[in-house]
Structure 1
Amino acid sequence: MILKGWRPVLVLLLLLIVWELIVKQTGVPDWLFPAPSQIFQEGWNGWEQFYPHLLATLKLSLIGFLIGSGTGLITAIILHLLPGLRDSIYPLLILSQNIPIIVLAPLLVIWFGFGLMPKIIVIALVCFFPITVASLDGFKQTAPELKHYMNMAGASKSQLFWKLELPYATPSIFSGLKISATYSVMGAVISEWLGAKHGIGVYMTLASSSFRTDRVFVAIFWIMILSLLFFGLIKAAERTLVRGQFKGEIK
């Protein structure tokens, strides 16, 4: 199991080594395509300058993720408990995903200004759809025989939901949360392009405009690290909750 867990790390190291060798052998200019060693050196030397941007993006991602995921889960529960409303609203949710966020972002600036509100809305919209769809699918996958058994036992609609449907949908809910968690970082970076003062998106814009490609790659690497970190935290919470729920059912 340990060796299996290290396989992605070994592949990543191999890719970085090949990348380093190609850049060194071909003599590509640093401003065009820097070597990994230069990127890591810039990340180390420019840490004090980059750190405030990292904290700003981290804070924005967490706020947007909590709002978007919470709203998405509540919406999924309401649509599941009200089938008529679900049949009316669900197609509109699908259609809303055909509108690119990068197109919607300027409208949010016009409506809400350059403050924090449009940025949080962008992240919340990115996180909203995965958790809503995943939760609704999880509720639908509840075993029919178990629902029939609880109905025969005289369970109310609320008892049926809290005792059976919600626990049964927990894995699907966490799947949506993991997707939303990784999307939240991307949404934060996109929202920071709208006119923020700090953030990884601002750092990338300044770096690209000054042809500091090494700094752009530093920002890209940190976006990947934050996404993996959020994903890992949600996965750890899933293991703890699902394992505890399973033990409780066994008892």
Structure 2
Amino acid sequence: MKNSANIGHKVAPWLAFLLLLLIWELGVRAYNLPGYVLASPGKVLATITDIYPALCFHGSMTLLEAVTGFILAIIIAFVMAFLLDTCVWLNRAVYPLLIISQTIPLIVLAVLFTIWFGFGLLPKILVVILVCFFPVVISFSNGLRKVDPDQLNLFRSMGASRLKTFAMVKLPAAMPAFFSGIRISATYSIMAAVIAEWLGSNRGLGYYMTLQQKQFAIDRVLAAVVIICLLSLLLVKLIDLGEYLLVPWNRSYFNSLPGEDYSKKENSA
């Protein structure tokens, strides 16, 4: 029964995805929609095969922008969360500013950065950093605040310094929350890079989509969207694997996920 349930959990997402594609395909054929309105999944797949070199060319740039900004955002967020946890006055001063920074529309920031820094790589990376920074620093800060106070009191009673208490108690306890924020940011990183490319670029999936949209080549636009989704999914899966390897005390979370059997991966390794 347990094996059949595990198989059902693994198969169910794929069945739902295939059902969605089938409804999409039948809908396009039933209503005889023209290609400039909506392309069928079969047409999109064929287009991906035809323009694969162009998708790789533009997708590599988008991935570079997203990964660079994503990594820098994680580093900055980690340092900021550490400072906010260490300095109470800094937390009270900076935390409201972090909230306010998220009320600024992303498109406005992308336009301003393009005006200030040109059409190169820097404005795209800055947009990704701003988008990915907030979920990580908020999640990590919340994780640091929810550490068991009894453990903190025990270390303090033993004369442990703040740095040792952070490294041996707070950091391990807050790592699941830290990776939760990273996982959320990973889904935003590719999107942020694409939006930045829409407003000023000469290469990237956002730039490519803008060109094809003006030509009403919806099949090529959707092909780029498929690549964007695959890149986002790849980043999330890499984060999951990283958390599984670096945070072994939280592996019960992964074992409870439907469709994932990480214990087999561990045994095979």
TM over 0.5: yes
Give the drift of 1:100: 0.8
Contact 1:135/1:169, CA 8 A, preserved across alignment: yes
Q: What do residues 217-244 of structure 1 show as CA deviations (whole Å, max 9, x unaligned)?
A: 1111111111111000001110111117
Give the drift of 1:150: 1.3
Distance 1:59 1:105 in 2: 17
Count of residues in correspondence between the two structures: 246
Give the RMSD, CA atoms, in angstroms.
1.3
Residue matched to 2:127 = 122
Distance 2:108 2:129 in 1: 16
Stretch deviating more after TM superposition (153-162 or 166-175): 153-162
Q: Which runs of 5+ in 2 are unaligned?
A: 1-5, 252-269
Stretch deviating more after TM superposition (145-154 or 167-176): 145-154
Stretch deviating more after TM superposition (105-114 or 64-73): 105-114
Pair 1:204 & 2:209 matched: yes
Structure 1 counterpart of 2:46, one-letter code: Q
Distance 1:209 1:95 in 2: 35
Residue matched to 1:170 = 175
Give the drift of 1:32: 0.4
Structure 2 counterpart of 1:232, one-letter code: K
Stretch deviating more after TM superposition (46-55 or 35-44): 46-55
Distance 1:4 1:156 in 2: 47
The 1:244–1:141 alpha-carbon spacing in structure 2 relative to 1, beyond 3 Å, is closer
Pair 1:234 & 2:207 matched: no
Give the drift of 1:68: 1.2
Residue matched to 1:161 = 166
Contact 1:114/1:194, CA 8 A, preserved across alignment: no
Contact 1:39/1:217, CA 8 A, preserved across alignment: yes
Residue matched to 1:191 = 196
Residue matched to 2:221 = 216
Contact 2:114/2:200, CA 8 A, preserved across alignment: no
Residue matched to 2:149 = 144
Residue matched to 1:249 = none
SS across alignment from 2:24 = helix
Give the drift of 1:245: 8.5
Pair 1:57 & 2:45 matched: no
1:21-60 matches, cutoff 5 A: 21-60=26-65
Give the drift of 1:174: 0.2
SS across alignment from 2:97 = helix
Stretch deviating more after TM superposition (149-158 or 230-239): 149-158
- Structure 1's consecutive aligned runs of 4 or more residues displaced over 3 angstroms after TM superposition are none
SS across alignment from 1:135 = helix
Match of 2:21 among 16, 19, 23: 16
SS across alignment from 1:193 = helix
Distance 2:11 2:230 in 1: 17
Q: Which runs of 5+ in 1 are unaligned?
A: 247-251
Pair 1:66 & 2:71 matched: yes
- Identity value in percent: 41
1:78-117 matches, cutoff 5 A: 78-117=83-122
Distance 1:53 1:180 in 2: 22
TM-score, length of structure 1 as denominator length = 0.95
